[in-house]
């Protein structure tokens, strides 16, 4: 046997170690500088932004595995992200409303019946869509553990069914991309309806208030979610590094490069695609479940087709086929995006015209995407690889 | 020599064009067989039908000891049954190393979970080294397959076929674009492979077929025109008219 096969997983993938070390260092710095636990140099709102960014990095590495490694350009992974968010959001909203309702009923002479409590909660949650009835999908909303299971099970089941139908019919390339767009669009349109059971375009809100932790301020809550997001990203990175380093990693890259050749080697290509599609969908669901409590609100616009296209743009700019590339792309582009569109970037006055970045950011992003595609097809990660190899 | 593959009465037409017309053919185990024929004789469709890429309109194909019908099986099922195919254009996975290419082909469980949890074994490594030696690529195991020369890629693909441990090998124009020396080595690899299994070589190059020194099947307009030794079929007047005569005139 040669050296390569005897080396350990970490020795074969030194970038995993570097990534985890950098992530740990970054997390420590943020905690030390945060308002809750440290010097207070990083405002709580920015801790939340950073925590959300980590979640976006997590879905980006999932996207990189499904697209960069397996060659399936899914433009629907944000649907899974959104479903994860809705699943946890239902519990957050229910449990918190229940606490508020119970509080308001304290001191009444006649203790309220469970039905009255339930009606009051329903009224609070569904009043905006002119209803007070709990739809069937809220049946388990009072149970945190079942809703947590849904974070994993619902995206996984949807991906399994959708992927089985699509891959079995050998839908590939741009047709598959269009199909995934249709999936996420259909889901968004459905959720926009008031009678979808998830409050239509109002979505679920107040998700930043964690039931039972009303006493702890948002500064503490934000750090807890930030740490959880960092841990999820670290574990997700390890999982995907292990998958892509395994022999299955070889096979899915071979499927990307020449699908029919892999069939003649005796591999059932569709099972492999289905495996990758489903696993990445589950990770996307987990990322969403961590993201939306930090965002505070989720509504159907979040899973509009454009969101999944952005995801592909991040991964392309960061560099496909390398996990750290996806992290770089997602972090850089999403942070820049909130800087430019959030009024952080100063407007440029050209005398005859003033460049407002809110209007021009998309143009800038589009230009960057075109330039990267033309001049650095392997993205920022590819440029880093080149530098490392030279030195 | 017992029969390994039996095709009988196979027909296939594409939009009215009769690519394969009532083709019947038997291959023994072990056997080395060359299939020749002019362009459009149906050589590629013949291979597509055996490997499950194309479904025939009529006829049946039986394979193996239990005479299992190949019709209705998927490409991957047929491949796992023991039929390997090498394409005309070398198709190796260029981004991955020679070792990884061979390892993917090695006969092992093919399900996603088995593959995900697969651990390298000493046995597999030894088999891999042995194949690498056979195809002259021992010194190139860690190189990306894309860096290999054209001839080396052809060998790698033959090596990947061997790694699958198939009972029947379908090899499409293995000598295309090779130097004289490389051709000689390719002949050796194929002859050695045919000592224990069935090998069907589809080839244009008469010199190469002569060197294989085996039974030849001449295809024409989708059916068998003649069968026998190369000398026998080249003396056949119909063969000369439709094929050899034409190439001679072309040259």
DSSP states of A317-360 as a string? HH-TT-HHHHHHHHHHHHHHHHHHHTT-SPPEE-SS-EE-HHHH
Query: Please, is A174 exposed, middle or buried when counting C-beta atoms within 10 Å of its C-beta (0-12, 13-18, 19+)?
Result: exposed
Residue contact B94–A257, C-beta within 8 A: yes
Nearest in space to A246 (alpha carbons), one of A12, A2, A3, A1: A12
ipTM: 0.83
Percent pLDDT > 90 in chain B is 53
Task: Give the Cβ contact number of residue B153 at 10 Å.
Answer: 22
Residue contact A250–B53, C-beta within 8 A: no
Considering only CB atoms, which chain A residues are within 8 Å of B79?
A: 263-266
CA distance A267 to A319: 28
> Confidence band (pLDDT; 50, 70, 90) for B245?
low
Give me the residue spans of the domains in chain B.
2-96+166-250
Q: Are A283 and A74 in contact (CB under 8 A)?
A: no
φ, ψ dihedrals at B202, nearest 5°: -95, 125
Considering only CB atoms, which chain B residues are within 8 Å of A240?
A: none
φ, ψ dihedrals at A147, nearest 5°: -65, -35
pLDDT at B244: 59
Q: Does A257 touch chain B (CB under 8 A)?
A: yes
Give me the residue spans of the domains in chain A.
3-343+355-390
Q: Which two tokens stand for residue A42?
A: 């990083």
- Closest-CA residue of A relative to B102 is A265
pLDDT at A5: 47
Q: Which two tokens stand for residue A26?
A: 């970054």
Q: Does A368 touch chain B (CB under 8 A)?
A: no
Topology of the domain covering B2-96+166-250:
Rossmann fold (3.40.50)
Query: How far does A56 lie from chain B, in Å, by closest CA?
Result: 26
Write the CB contacts of A128 (distance below 8 Å, at least 6 apart in sequence): A199, A202
φ, ψ dihedrals at B196, nearest 5°: -115, -5
The DSSP call for residue B71 is T
Interface probe for B, chosen from A247, A274, A277 (most Cβ of B below 10 Å), is A247
Residue contact B93–A243, C-beta within 8 A: no
Residue contact A247–B118, C-beta within 8 A: yes
Residue contact B116–A1, C-beta within 8 A: no
CA distance B95 to A58: 26
* pLDDT score of B248 more than 60: no
Over residues A60-104, the pLDDT tens digits come to 999 999 999 999 999 999 999 999 999 999 999 999 999 999 888
> Confidence band (pLDDT; 50, 70, 90) for B178?
confident
Q: Does A260 touch chain B (CB under 8 A)?
A: yes
**Quick check: helix, strand or coil at residue B63?**
strand
- Closest-CA residue of A relative to B127 is A1
Considering only CB atoms, which chain A residues are within 8 Å of B100?
A: 250
Residues 5-24 of A with CB under 8 A from B: 5
Q: Which two tokens stand for residue A111?
A: 């203790």
Over residues A152-188, the pLDDT tens digits come to 999 999 999 999 999 999 999 999 999 999 999 999 9
pTM greater than 0.80: yes
Instruction: Please tell me which of the candidates B100, B112, B118 has its beta carbon nearest to residue A272.
Output: B112
Q: Does A265 touch chain B (CB under 8 A)?
A: yes
Q: Are A227 and A37 in contact (CB under 8 A)?
A: no
DSSP A164-211: HHHHHTT--HHHHHHHHHHHHHHHHHHHHSGGGSS-GGG-EE-TTS-T
Residues 156-185 of B with CB under 8 A from A: 160, 164
The DSSP call for residue A66 is I
Instruction: Please tell me which of the candidates A248, A250, A268 has its beta carbon nearest to residue B76.
Output: A268
Query: How far does A249 lie from chain B, in Å, by closest CA?
Result: 8
CA distance A1 to B63: 36
pLDDT at A1: 38
Over residues B12-55, the pLDDT tens digits come to 999 888 899 999 999 998 899 999 888 888 888 999 999 999 99
Helices A44-63 and A77-105 cross at an angle (nearest 10°) of 140
Query: How far does B54 lie from chain A, in Å, by closest CA?
Result: 13
**Quick check: helix, strand or coil at residue A388?**
helix
Give pLDDT tens digits along chain A (391 positions): 344 445 788 888 888 999 999 999 999 999 999 988 778 899 999 999 999 999 999 999 999 999 999 999 999 999 999 999 999 999 999 999 999 998 888 878 888 888 888 889 999 999 888 888 888 999 999 999 999 999 999 999 999 999 999 999 999 999 999 999 999 999 999 999 988 889 999 999 999 999 888 777 888 999 999 999 999 999 999 999 999 999 999 999 999 999 988 998 989 999 999 999 999 999 999 999 999 999 999 999 999 999 999 999 999 999 999 999 999 999 999 999 988 888 777 888 888 888 888 888 889 999 999 998 898 889 999 988 888 888 7
pLDDT at A367: 92
CA distance A295 to B146: 46
């Amino acid at each position: 046997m040669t050296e390569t096969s005897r080396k350990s997983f970490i020795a074969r993938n030194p970038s995993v170690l570097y990534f985890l070390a950098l992530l740990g260092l970054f997390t420590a710095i943020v905690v030390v500088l945060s308002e809750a636990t440290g010097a207070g140099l990083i405002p709580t709102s920015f801790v939340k932004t950073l925590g959300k960014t980590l979640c976006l990095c997590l879905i980006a590495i999932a996207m990189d595995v499904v697209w960069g490694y397996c060659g399936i350009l899914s433009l629907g992974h944000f649907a899974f992200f959104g479903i994860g968010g809705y699943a946890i959001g239902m519990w957050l909203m229910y449990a918190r409303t229940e606490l508020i309702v119970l509080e308001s009923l304290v001191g009444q002479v006649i203790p309220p019946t469970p039905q009255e409590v339930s009606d009051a909660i329903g009224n609070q949650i569904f009043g905006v869509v002119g209803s007070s009835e709990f739809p069937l999908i809220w049946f388990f909303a009072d149970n945190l553990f079942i809703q947590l299971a849904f974070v994993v099970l619902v995206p996984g089941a949807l991906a399994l069914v959708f992927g089985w139908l699509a891959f079995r019919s050998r839908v590939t390339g741009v047709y598959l991309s269009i199909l995934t767009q249709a999936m996420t669009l259909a889901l968004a349109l459905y959720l926009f309806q008031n009678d979808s059971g998830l409050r239509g375009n109002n979505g679920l809100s107040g998700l930043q208030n964690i039931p039972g932790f009303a006493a702890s301020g948002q500064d503490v809550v934000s750090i807890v979610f930030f740490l959880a997001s960092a841990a999820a990203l670290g574990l997700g990175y390890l999982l995907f590094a292990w998958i892509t380093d395994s022999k299955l990693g070889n096979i899915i890259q071979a499927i990307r490069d020449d699908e029919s050749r892999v069939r003649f080697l005796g591999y059932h290509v569709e099972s492999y695609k289905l495996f990758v599609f489903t696993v990445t969908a589950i990770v996307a669901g987990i990322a969403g479940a961590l993201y939306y409590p930090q965002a505070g609100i989720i509504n159907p616009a979040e899973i509009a087709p454009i969101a999944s296209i952005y995801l592909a743009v991040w991964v392309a700019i960061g560099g496909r086929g390398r996990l750290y590339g996806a992290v770089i792309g997602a972090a850089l582009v999403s942070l820049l995006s909130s800087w430019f569109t959030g009024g952080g970037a100063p407007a440029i006055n050209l005398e005859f015209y003033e460049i407002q970045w809110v209007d021009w950011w998309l143009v800038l992003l589009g230009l960057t995407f075109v330039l990267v595609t033309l001049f650095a097809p392997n993205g920022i990660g590819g440029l880093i690889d080149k530098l490392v190899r030279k030195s | 020599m017992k029969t390994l593959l039996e095709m009988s009465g196979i027909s296939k037409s594409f939009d009215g064009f009769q690519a394969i017309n009532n083709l019947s053919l038997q291959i023994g185990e072990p056997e080395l067989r060359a299939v020749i024929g002019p362009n459009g004789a149906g050589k590629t469709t013949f291979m597509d039908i055996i490997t499950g890429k194309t479904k025939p309109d009529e006829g049946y194909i039986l394979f193996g000891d239990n005479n299992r019908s190949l019709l209705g099986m998927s490409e991957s099922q047929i491949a796992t049954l023991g039929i390997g195919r090498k394409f005309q254009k070398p198709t190796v996975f260029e981004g991955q190393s020679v070792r990884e290419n061979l390892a993917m082909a090695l006969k092992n469980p093919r399900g996603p979970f088995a593959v995900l949890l697969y651990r390298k074994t000493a046995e597999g490594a030894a088999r891999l080294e042995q194949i690498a030696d056979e195809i002259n690529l021992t010194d190139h195991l860690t190189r990306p397959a894309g860096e290999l020369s054209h001839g080396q890629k052809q060998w790698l693909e033959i090596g990947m076929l061997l790694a699958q441990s198939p009972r029947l090998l379908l090899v499409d124009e293995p000598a295309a674009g090779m130097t004289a020396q490389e051709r000689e080595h390719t002949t050796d690899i194929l002859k050695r492979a045919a000592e224990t299994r069935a090998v069907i070589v589809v080839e244009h190059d008469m010199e190469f077929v002569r060197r294989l020194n085996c039974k030849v099947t001449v295809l024409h307009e989708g059916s068998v025109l003649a069968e026998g030794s190369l000398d026998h079929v080249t003396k056949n007047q119909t063969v000369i008219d439709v094929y050899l005569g034409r190439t001679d005139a072309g040259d």
